[in-house]
Structure 1
Amino acid sequence: MAQGPNYKVKFRRRREGKTNYYKRYTYVLNRTDRIVIRITNKHVIVQFMRLNPKGDITVSAAHSTELRKFGWKGDENNSSACYLTGYLAGMRAKKSGITKATADIGLFTPTVGARVFYALKGAIDSGVEIPIGDVQVSNDRIVGKHVAEYAKKIEQEDPEKYKRIFSRYILRGLDPKDLPSHFKDVLSSIKGEK
């Protein structure tokens, strides 16, 4: 570690790699509401935040575990779950009076096909205006068509591998080949929430 009279210790969260203070500064200057998306190893968290000098205020939020009450039986951090969580958070944000937001993806590096953009697409489809540029999001991946096709292929080639790979889906009572229709059912139940 550097030493000397001119050395200035960086902020703790910067040293830990948790906060990019330059990005944070630009959000403060914009004074707009933010949609904050965080993806963990198991879950997706989408929050709409409002800037406050004393600390950010969470206006509305959705967690991928909440999808279970709408009947979701798939994984809680795949592309479909990201979209549904973003859609749910967007609906709640609209009820709270948020119509426009800026995307805050934190320290995540934006890449083509990233799950962060599926959550943003869900929030946009719910009616919240979020500028994301020309990012392309595959509708087949949103509904889980790629998972269904892969499950069909693996089941024909190696039934044991199929049972091993999709054991959590089967345990929850969902045939992975039916994921697109299951997604549509869950989305319609989310849309029906008042």
Structure 2
Amino acid sequence: MGFVKVVKNKAYFKRYQVKFRRRREGKTDYCAHKRLVIQDKNKYNTPKYRMIVRVTNRDITCQIAYACIEGDVIVCAAYAHELPKYGGKVGLTNYAAELKWYSRTYLFNMQKAVKEEERNKSDMRHIENK
């Protein structure tokens, strides 16, 4: 096989389309994200809920969200700095606090928020599988 010149000239770069910024930075795997948020068609207009947990040095944030075409909708959120109201005094960012926070977020906020969502349900456009 002979020598082949690599041609990356003006025409190549004119047509070149860059990837999404978060893909270029290696922060988001869009294939996995799509599999995570897409709801099956046989479930009709039911949102697919997911829990988002972010841990920082000083706080834990738990959110319950679902995907819409316009963007993600946060149903409810809970923060670890609220934990002293419920009896937790220390260790607001450790693993035990996280577990306590998951259950608190789910039990209290989710049930209340889902009932409110059902009352307000009108023209919702959820992301579905094709």
Q: Same fold (TM over 0.5)?
A: yes
Q: Which amino acid aligns with 2:102?
A: G
Paired residue for 1:9? 18
Partners in 1 of 2:82 and 2:76 — Cα distance? Answer: 13
Partners in 1 of 2:52 and 2:90 — Cα distance? Answer: 23
Paired residue for 1:182? none
Partners in 1 of 2:60 and 2:83 — Cα distance? Answer: 11
Partners in 2 of 1:74 and 1:7 — Cα distance? Answer: 53
Deviation of the 1:68 alpha carbon: 1.9
Q: Does the CA-based 8 Å contact 2:37-2:66 persist in structure 1?
A: no
SS of alignment partner, residue 105 of structure 2: helix
Cα deviations by residue, 1:64-98 (Å, 9 ceiling, x for unpaired): 11102223222221111101111111011122228
Q: Which amino acid aligns with 1:23?
A: A
Partners in 1 of 2:71 and 2:100 — Cα distance? Answer: 28
* Bigger mean CA deviation after superposition, 71-80 or 12-21: 12-21
Q: Runs of 5+ in structure 1 lacking a partner?
A: 99-194
Q: Runs of 5+ in structure 2 lacking a partner?
A: 1-7, 40-46, 116-130
Residue 41 in 1 paired to residue 57 in 2?
yes
Partners in 2 of 1:18 and 1:68 — Cα distance? Answer: 33
User: TM-score normalised to the size of structure 1?
Assistant: 0.44
Indicate which of 16, 24, 35 corresponds to 1:26: 35
Cα deviations by residue, 1:114-173 (Å, 9 ceiling, x for unpaired): xxxxxxxxxxxxxxxxxxxxxxxxxxxxxxxxxxxxxxxxxxxxxxxxxxxxxxxxxxxx
Residue 53 in 1 paired to residue 62 in 2?
no
Q: Which amino acid aligns with 1:76?
A: L
Aligned residues: 96
SS of alignment partner, residue 96 of structure 1: helix
Partners in 1 of 2:16 and 2:57 — Cα distance? Answer: 37
Partners in 2 of 1:83 and 1:96 — Cα distance? Answer: 20
User: TM-score normalised to the size of structure 2?
Assistant: 0.63
Higher relative contact order (CA 8 A, sep 6+): 2
Partners in 2 of 1:58 and 1:51 — Cα distance? Answer: 9
Question: Normalized per residue, which structure has more helix?
Answer: 1
Deviation of the 1:8 alpha carbon: 3.5
Structure 1 segments, 4+ long, off by >4 Å, are: none
